[in-house]
Structure 1
Amino acid sequence: MLNGRDLRVDFFRGLALIFIFWDHIPHNPLAALTVRNFGFSDAAEIFVFLAGYAAVLAYGKIARRDGFMIASIKIWRRAWVLYVVHIFLLAVLMGIVFYANSHVETRDLVQDMGLQYFLSNPQQALTDELLLRFKPNLMDPLPLYIVLLMGLPLVLPMLLRKARYVVAVSLALYLMAPYWNLASQEGGVWFFNPVAWQFLFILGGALALHSQANPAINPRPLNRQPLFLGAVVYLLVTGLVAVSWKWPPLHDALIPQALGEQIYPISKTNLSPLRLLHFLALVYVVAKLVPHSQWLNQWVAQQLCRMGRYSLEVFCLGVILAPLADMLNALGDDAWPVQVFSAVSGVGVMALLALWLDWNKRLGLPPSAMK
């Protein structure tokens, strides 16, 4: 804990940022180490869940201290800043991709990044950008977070008083997700359906409030806690299924055709119940197995915690670095040493940004606050 802050939250946000970055670099061998390879959920769930956790803690504290109106104004001001950042980031991303595409002959980066819509219909694409409907690859999480943050003031008062009612309403909306989504470019829909993903955001916020009011204390050993054992079994089974996707004969042996027709596709857009259950089981098991301890003071953990504290800034940098890493890999003929170098170097640059932001923030603090 640091000034009442759960460093595990920062640590796993930082880890999720690395996973998101690695997952978005084509042919990156280090992407085989990310969480998406060992279950039904991936780093996107970590990012959204912990965003809700952190947002409700931060703005809930402001609401209790200064009132809901002040908290709402600060939330909407933050959402506006992120909206401006989204537009600026998209412009930078397009500039990088168009430049890189003219120097890379082995593949079409414009096509890979989903920017051909801008080339074919630039005026409509610019309009859709302002309406959050034009979202090339890598850009989907930020508009989702903007929409979720915009809606937070509507539920924050009740969330602080009767969180279970908010969770119940959120669950009802989640169940409607297959029938309701926001419009995207060219008649499509949002890749991250806000109607579905708001449930994970709300669950994160509700857990933050519950953890503050009810510290988890269970004297029974873990091997005598049925919920923990059930979560572990589900993680092991889904992990085996996810690994089997790389070996079709193994998958066919594990998943009969009749069962496959029932569980597939495991929708990421609408946050399939199987994905949601996998992530919640993962959260529960990790919370039980990973305690508050000195390991968070180790150098590597400190770097990840720092990245997690500045998650949105680091995420935006990762969006820019991913196509640059892809360009470097293509120029290096996709040799694995080049791929590993670009992936590791990108993480280093993201860590340096977090270090600079932390140093810059400390410059404005009084000496007593820096102790």
Structure 2
Amino acid sequence: MTFERDHRIDFFRGLALIFIFWDHVPQNPLAQFTVRNIGFSDAAEIFVFLAGYAAVLAYGKIARRDGFMVATVKILRRAWVLYVVHIFLLALLMGIVFFANSHVETRDLVQEMGLQYFLSNPQQALMDELLLRFKPNLMDPLPLYILLLLGLPLVLPMLLRKAEYVVGLSVVLYLLAPCFQWNLAGTDGGVWFFNPLAWQLLFILGGAAAIHGQRPRVQQPRPLTRQPVFIAALTYLLLTGLIAVSWKWPTVHDTFMPQRLGEWLYPISKTNLSPARLLHFLALAYVTARLLPDTGWTQHWLVQQSCRMGRYSLEVFCFGVLLAPLADMLNALGGNVLAMQIFSALLGVGLMALLGAWLDFNKRLNRPISVTAI
């Protein structure tokens, strides 16, 4: 089995990074155009699913070529790099937030970013940071990814051979976690905002999708209008989209939302990856994959900018985390006018794209020169 890169993965990873940045800038008008406004899931599901997809593509190829021991060493080395990045990123984020807070008089950015715990108990906060328990706002995805990556060597051999068995065990853990309130400890007696015992299912599903996507197709797919799964997924997306839009008008929502359905549906837990959220993302991913095959559209210049960000998702994600409080500060200093809010949102994305372009250029410079090229 060969593992080939799907350019759509890079594009949607980059798009998820843009959505995450926009969603974390308060009062950002462009956040109204992110995926969280059209259904139950948001960019976090995209990020975790594609992280699993990309991880299995990369380390699955290494495992088949060099063996599982080499793949495990590379996975653990990558997890260590992410752990070090997490520590330094948190230090930089705190410095930026403290700086921004000193220039914004109308709000307490330190409190809003969840950094008050560090000021009140710095020694314990530093220990919690090393144990991945201290996670201010914007920082939750990175510790989750570190933990999921650490667990990948345990399931990669079976995932490559019998992916359905791993998915089955993952589903069982996903169902048991909320029933028995399994989660990891956070600060002040709390728990992880992204429960890794629940979110691991998306990571595993991403890996299973990567393996399935490499298998040769035995027959031509039927037209979309004759595919029951596609029709069902599209119907679910339309219904959940109407519900999500109705949240903007509580009176309309309360009028048309059946009481029994509301009692079953709410609250839609993000911490435990509510089935409604999970199903919405899976439907969204399935419909998108069917409507947008990996063809020439991924070669468009604008699409390539997102693909480049997706290829360097760790660096761009960290940069976006640091840019969000700076954009918030810029908006506050500018009086939170619409023009300034749009400018800061677009400026942040532009800087993220420039970082991706620089990293791509730097990578090409570091490539060894072949004899034939001399």
Task: Give the TM-score taking structure 2 as reference length.
Answer: 0.96
Q: 1:365 and 1:216 mapped to 2: Cα distance?
A: 38
2:246 to 239, 244, 247: 244
1:292 Cα deviation from its structure 2 partner:
2.0
Counterpart of 2:353? 351
| CA deviation profile, 1:229-252 (whole Å, cap 9, x unmatched) | 000000000000000000012211
**In 2 relative to 1, CA 215–91 (structure 1 residues): closer, same or farther, beyond 3 Å?**
farther
Counterpart of 1:167? 167
Q: 1:247 and 1:82 mapped to 2: Cα distance?
A: 41
Q: 2:216 and 2:253 mapped to 1: Cα distance?
A: 42
Output aligned runs, 1:62-141, within 5 Å.
62-141=62-141
Structure 1 position 16 matched with structure 2 position 5: no
1:216 Cα deviation from its structure 2 partner:
8.1
Counterpart of 2:145? 145
Q: 1:176 and 1:307 mapped to 2: Cα distance?
A: 36
Superposed CA RMSD in Å reads 1.5
1:276 to 275, 278, 284: 278
Structure 1 position 187 matched with structure 2 position 173: no
1:257 Cα deviation from its structure 2 partner:
2.6
Counterpart of 1:196? 198
2:223 to 213, 221, 224: 221
Q: Which amino acid in the other structure matches residue 189 of structure 1?
A: V
Q: Which amino acid in the other structure matches residue 145 of structure 2?
A: Y
1:25 Cα deviation from its structure 2 partner:
0.2
Structure 1 position 361 matched with structure 2 position 363: yes
| CA deviation profile, 1:64-94 (whole Å, cap 9, x unmatched) | 1111111001000000000000000000000
Count residues in correspondence. Answer: 369
1:306 to 288, 305, 308: 308
Counterpart of 2:329? 327
Task: Give the TM-score taking structure 1 as reference length.
Answer: 0.97
Q: Which amino acid in the other structure matches residue 36 of structure 2?
A: R
1:368 Cα deviation from its structure 2 partner:
6.0
1:221 Cα deviation from its structure 2 partner:
1.2
Q: 1:217 and 1:57 mapped to 2: Cα distance?
A: 24
1:369 Cα deviation from its structure 2 partner:
11
1:253 Cα deviation from its structure 2 partner:
2.4
Query: Contact conserved, 2:40 with 2:276, CA < 8 A, in 1?
Result: yes
Structure 1 gaps, min length 5: none
- What is the percentage of aligned positions where both structures have the same residue? 75
SS at match of 1:176: helix
Structure 2 gaps, min length 5: none
Q: Which amino acid in the other structure matches residue 36 of structure 1?
A: R
**In 2 relative to 1, CA 353–215 (structure 1 residues): closer, same or farther, beyond 3 Å?**
farther
SS at match of 2:4: coil
Q: 2:305 and 2:53 mapped to 1: Cα distance?
A: 20
| CA deviation profile, 1:267-292 (whole Å, cap 9, x unmatched) | 00000000000000001100100022
Counterpart of 2:317? 315
1:177 Cα deviation from its structure 2 partner:
1.9
Q: 2:20 and 2:184 mapped to 1: Cα distance?
A: 23
Counterpart of 1:207? 209
